[in-house]
Structure 1
Amino acid sequence: MSGTSNVGGRGVYEAGDQRNAPDSEINERERYKEGKENSHKANDSKDERSIANKLANQEKRENEPKQISKEAEESQKDPTLPARNHGNEPSKGAKIDAELQQEEEEILKKKGSWGSKK
């Protein structure tokens, strides 16, 4: 009964490329790069980094200048601008934000303190 099957020939069951590589070959492989960038999540509770490493990472983040994308800067000036730049109609929320921003600017102009804010 050996070698006979209803689901396929003998070649289906042979290991071929599924065999493990010999230890001599494994030892010669290039090791994975340890500590790849962004491999640790800062808020991961299961991350096993030491407290010193976490503190050093936090200090590093605090010292880095914050980078704001061009689109984020535009949205601070005019909430509807990013959508219009992409050829879309601004969302209802963006329109309301623009109206509120305009109203606040008018109130500040009336008070005379708008010139100091940028």
Structure 2
Amino acid sequence: MSSNVGSGNIYEAGDQRNVKQSELEERERYNEGQPNSHLPQDSKDNRTIANKLANEERRGDEEQKSEEQKLREKDATLPARAHGNEPSRGAKIDQQLREEDEEYLKQKGKK
């Protein structure tokens, strides 16, 4: 059945076709970021103050997380106790295994 509404090119999917993978790999990337392109203390960097503050907050969070991770490596029950909860059974077992391994390594080192 043919239609008299509009021209045929309206119904063609020319702009909706998928691009071949080979064409994607050959195409230049648009606005690809360069490593270390935004230095935090760069005076010529045009980032807004809000973006600079957000970056500093992110850096602070990363430092705080690394301290928390160091504490978790020493004590598996720490996260639960820090929130006022009883540690899970798995966390207790992990801590027991960690302590047993440390004792075994100490004994082996003494011999």
Instruction: Indicate whether the TM-score tops 0.5.
Output: no
More helix per residue: 2
Q: Normalised by the shorter chain, which TM-score bucket?
A: 0.3 to 0.5
Q: What is the TM-score of this pair, normalised by structure 1? A: 0.39
Q: What is the TM-score of this pair, normalised by structure 2? A: 0.41
Greater RCO (Cα-Cα under 8 Å, separation 6 or more)? 2
Structure exhibiting the larger radius of gyration computed from Cα positions? 1
